[in-house]
Structure 1
Amino acid sequence: MKTFLKIIKGLLIVVAFFFLGYYMVKYFVPSVGKAPNSEEMAQSPYYFKGKFINSVQTKSAEFSQVPQIVRNYFKRDVETNPNTDYIFTETNKLENDSILQVNWLGHAAMLFYKNGKYVLADPMLGERASPFQFMGPKRFSAPPISAENLPELEAVVISHDHYDHLDYETITKITAKTKYFYVPTGVGASLEYWGVPSEKIKEFSWWDTHTENGISITATPARHFSGRLFSQNNTFWASWVIEMEGENIYFGGDTGIFDGFKEIDEKLGPFDLAIMPIGAYNDAWHDIHMDAKEAVDAFQQMRAEKLFPIHWGTFDLALHSWFEPILELENISIERQIPLLSHPQGKWFRVDDDSDNAWWKKYSKEISGE
């Protein structure tokens, strides 16, 4: 009997510590964010039984697969981060302000410029894609520009609330210099919790649009999911179409392959540039992340001048090597004659500038054969 009581007492202590830890993190770690009002979310046509859903059946990794994924993660024999210097610095803008200029800031973060106006997408400039600064996926190198040094921003566009796309510290540092934050339904709750004034936040469902000061921004479908530390799918996700004074950009953010790219093109194309995620893929979560072949398949659903790859080369988020996505994309683009752009983090470029394609090869001896 005494042994039984000790076991019960031990279990109660474990449960108590679990709930204590849960509430301490939830209420004292602001980077976790804040859940939106579920009754307000229920007004969305994409909200079903307390969760947001995709337009096609979609699943992420099943719980039963997690142990094997973890084992594979620690057993893998691939180059998980660059073996040489991988740090870039932001270059000066091109002299012609009337031409759209683009700057990849790492992972999915993109900075767009035209006629003195800047738009920033998925501003993750923090050190770790995690709610904690002491653990979680760490950047291979510092971002090419700090959040403090970013210019005044007409708009910040966010695809969804995962930590590698929505970073608490970056948001707090750019709030004062940002005119508007464009976010999917429900994400605004975290922004307000972090001090962003409600009048600066515009929440969008798919196909919602807003035009101001020569910039038109439209939320478009994506195949993904959402969630911070203690939640999943209680906020929505989106890709975006950004038109800056006649030049049209598709920003994929984070998405799996589906047939929706054709519809986006029919309604809002053609595009001068299609920005597609190519990394962090695995068969276990195939529906929510594209690999290089699928990114090309998505691109070919659209009428776009050039393809620019994102979601690679910044964090170690999958089982493949850090360079596998871009290597595969280059091979496929040659085979299918796809107009591929690939520029280093921190370099301003135009859509018609392909001078730096395959720049990344010199950063891996295994790839370059040196």
Structure 2
Amino acid sequence: MAKHYIGACKDVEVRNNSSSGGIFTVLSNYVFDNDGIVFAATYDQYDYSIKHIMITNADELWKVRKSKYVWSNFKGIEIEMREQIAMNRLVMFVGTPCQAAYIRNKYGFYKKLFVVDLFCHGTAEPFYFRDYLELIDGKVRKIDFRGQSKHERSNYQFVITSDNGILEESFEENIFTKAYAESLIMKKSCFSCKLSENIHVSDITLGDFEWPDRAQERNVRVLHPSIISVNTEYGTKIFDNIKNNLYISDIVTEDEVAFYYRSHSEKGAWGYNIAEKEKFEEDYKKWGFKEAVYRNLFQHEINYLEKIYKYMQSFGIKNYYLYGNGCMANRLHKLITELYPDCIFLGNIVTNKKLDEKSRVIAIDEYDFEKKAVIVVAVSKKYVKDICEELIRCGVKWYIYDENL
């Protein structure tokens, strides 16, 4: 029977360079210390793909750290794996549950095979990933799906480094990661996956522990703790050898464990929705990746933008301000820039009080009434009425809002 733990590497530098608790790095270092090698997934900048490679020492671990969320070409490593098995070396393979099952099935005869997998939400199709990266200005050299926030656990950043600079967006706002979270770009086989519903076939399974406040109460006092499932005797043997390098707690409730073993065919908190996925596939065939994503994720916002654009045209106005400076304002700004590049953005308005001169936002009392510009209200509906009343009091001529944002 599997044993579950909450854990994190004691080395803060390792944690800072990991998706969550740094357990993968600690396991890999154990393998290297025992003359072993590691097979894990990396980003290939030359063909915009994710693929498995062989790592032979700790100095190369940066290539394969962190979650990828995209299906990896893992069968290309089989020749090297067979060579390492023939040399009687300790072999560690890290992948999704289905990849782990394939490796276990094919090479399970080998006693020094150490299989690690993940609590898996599903993986994106590689061709969608390539389509997205081709939208980026400049050659994409590096990606980080899990740039860590120093404050809120949920606020991961998706970071792309290209020849033309760095793009950094929240996981909830980037079109690729949002499409992934909404299950639009996942592999179809992920929706019927049975491997994630029960204890996995791997020796050890890793994932994010979803309740860092509870981990704190159990003396795992880090920002991004891991959940660890030790599934086999071999996994137990290796885990016992790395425990001294971890903060760990074996207090994990039944409800917490159950959270990680769920059906991928059901709609719910993880976003599984095969009907939405199939609709996206049809839209992708008609319009391509970017427009299909916009139509499926931001249709309400697009309708609002059409209304805004017609309103601006009716007065012969091209300039606009956004009233708001949160997620919705940023989303609308991005969509307007993409869909209506002739519109000229003048800034964000957020308050009726004058701000410090260095502030990047504009107070309503700094608004230039002589300038012909529309104020686009970009806040949640509970604030719309008060803001519109404020704009009327201030004598703003041109403004537009949507009560259902």
TM above 0.5, yes or no, is: no
Report the TM-score when normalising by structure 2.
0.27
Report the TM-score when normalising by structure 1.
0.28
Q: Which has the larger radius of gyration?
A: 2
Larger relative contact order (CA 8 Å, sep ≥ 6): 1
Q: Which has the higher helix share?
A: 2
